Amino acid sequence: MISARWLRVFAPIFLSLLLFVTACAKPESRYSQVQKDTTRRGAPTAVAKAAEQGSTFNKFFPNSTGTYEVVPAQEKKGFAEYKLNKDGKTVAMLSVSDTTSLPTAAVKYRNSTETIAGYPAVNQGTTATGILINDRYQVKVLSRDPSFTQEDRVAWLQKFDLRGLAKLEGPKTATTPAQKSLPNTATSPKRAPTLTPQPAT
């Protein structure tokens, strides 16, 4: 009788401890890891409140044409990205970002002596080419396949509605006399322009 009574008393306690230990042993969720990554020292800063909504950029992307298909890939505040597919394979990524949240992304364009469609242009590594609009909006094309060359990146940058993007509110900077225009590859596809590689951002 005594043992049975003690069993009834301790059984709930034992079960509670068992559940607690089991819960502690579960692997942390991906959300927990994300929280750790974003709060640890050196983690990227939050998106600036003044940054444009990613949905604002959608209308400025090129349309699908010929054998190329432009497909939405990612959208968040201050950033929008599309895939450029050809024959069922992604050959490049197209993006527009608001550098308000990451001012250093705009710094690399300040010393640029090259332009595309009248805007400062730089190569970022060997696979990406970008331009900066109004000293704020970065438009970038990233090659995902060796067949997609720098010349192709320049051509697709010019397919964006750059004038429309330039009308978004933001500081405007005039093109300096030292800057020279890169050839419009839409009409002169003979040779890709040579740009000075910059660190990717």
Do 64 and 136 share a domain, yes or no?
Answer: yes
Looking at residue 40, what is its pLDDT?
A: 40
Farthest-apart Cα atoms in the chain, separation: 99
Residue 24: give the domain boundaries.
2-39
80 has pLDDT over 90: yes
Same domain for 22 and 65, yes or no, is: no
46 assigned to some structural domain: no
Is there a domain that residue 164 lies in? yes
Question: In terms of domains, do 61 and 23 share one?
Answer: no
Residue 54 pLDDT grade (very low, low, confident, very high; cuts 50, 70, 90): confident
Task: Clarify whether residues 70 and 26 are in a common domain.
Answer: no
Which tens digit of pLDDT belongs to each residue from 20-36? 655 554 444 433 443 34
Q: What is the mean pLDDT of the chain?
A: 77
pLDDT higher for 54 or 26? 54
Nearest to 153 by CA among 95, 80, 69: 95
pLDDT at 189: 40
Res 196: pLDDT: 53
Express each pLDDT in 119-147 by its tens digit. 999 999 999 999 999 999 999 999 999 99
If asked whether residues 11 and 93 sit together in one domain, one would say no
Decide if 40 contacts 13 (C-beta within 8 A).
no
Residue among 197, 194, 201, 192 nearest 152 (CA): 192
Contact 138/99 with Cβ under 8 angstroms? yes
pTM over 0.85: no
* Sign (positive or negative) of CA dihedral 9, 10, 15, 21: positive
Are 35 and 122 in a shared domain?
no
Indicate whether 156 belongs to any domain: yes
Inside any domain, residue 45:
no
Look at the chain and report how many structural domains it folds into. 2
47 in a domain, yes or no? Answer: no
Nearest to 200 by CA among 101, 108, 82: 108
